[in-house]
Amino acid sequence: MKSFMFAAVSALCITSVSAHAATLSDLVGGATLTEGDVTFSGFEFSNEVPDPPFPDDFNADASEIEVTTSSTSTTTTLSFALDPSPSISGELTVFDFLIDFDVAITGGSSRTFTDVTLGAGDLFASEDAFSDVNFADAVDEPSVLVNIFEDTLKGSQTSMTDDLDGVTSLNLLGRANGLTFTSTATAGLSTFSLTFDLAGTAPPPSPIPLPAGLPLLLAGLGGLVLLRGRKTL
């Protein structure tokens, strides 16, 4: 009986969490991600590997990139996870793809973006190679630029933060690419994320929508009543 109830409640929780994750192909198709009063929309994706590619080049696919959101009281984070992750080796091999999107304060909130950090990236490079992720802003002037990279020639940098000066929306243009220059070089990445710091008071959280999970919860309660009735008999 307790297991049945736990399964029903768990299914309800999974239903609510799923609104904060999507594949990049779904987002390119018009889906959005909303985390509190921050909405991510207008996603675009393009594989930029030269055509025809070399045999060891990596061609990224939007359907194999999972995008998730998370938040604290003062931040909202957009994370990208690639599976399979770009991994290249050999002389003059490459991965190269573009991810653009819009991010905005929504729902009548008065909060603003104060800065953005590109970090938490799982990048690697060895020998003579580099792996890089960067985003520029097409709305603000001068353009915001955040970058993470692993470069065997220049050293490594795990995160970079840029001041946004209290804006309420951004149009971010992103590029992830890597290149090897020698036969023994390797490069790649599997994850990266953008964290937006917010100023102001967040609006109260919206009630969790129940229609999708409510039947499961009611079914669990019904099972409880039925089992109790059998014990009485």
- pLDDT at position 6 over 90: no
The whole-number pLDDT of residue 139 equals 66
What percent of the chain is predicted at pLDDT more than 90? Answer: 51
Task: Note whether 25 and 68 are within 8 A (CB).
Answer: no
Write the DSSP symbol of residue 9. H
The Cα 183–Cα 193 span in angstroms is: 30
- pLDDT at position 16 over 60: no
Q: What mean pLDDT do residues 165-173 have?
A: 89
- pLDDT at position 113 over 50: yes
- pLDDT at position 39 over 90: yes
The whole-number pLDDT of residue 216 equals 53
Q: What mean pLDDT do residues 198-202 have?
A: 88
The whole-number pLDDT of residue 151 equals 65
More confident residue, 109 or 202: 109
The Cα 42–Cα 37 span in angstroms is: 17
Segments making up each domain of the chain, as ranges: 22-206
Q: Give this prediction's pTM.
A: 0.77
Residue 180 β-bridge partners: 129
Q: What mean pLDDT do residues 113-130 have?
A: 86
The whole-number pLDDT of residue 12 equals 36
The whole-number pLDDT of residue 193 equals 92
Residue range 44-96, pLDDT digits in tens: 999 999 887 788 999 999 999 999 999 999 999 999 999 999 999 999 999 99
For residue 205 the two structure tokens come to: 């959280």
Distances (CA, A) of 175 to 9, 46, 147: 40, 9, 10
The whole-number pLDDT of residue 32 equals 96
The whole-number pLDDT of residue 8 equals 41
- pLDDT at position 38 over 90: yes
Predicted confidence band of residue 19 (pLDDT cuts 50, 70, 90)? very low
List all residues 6 or more positions away from 101 whose beta carbon is below 8 Å from its beta carbon: 27, 40, 41, 42, 43, 44, 78, 172, 174
Calculate the average pLDDT of the chain: 80
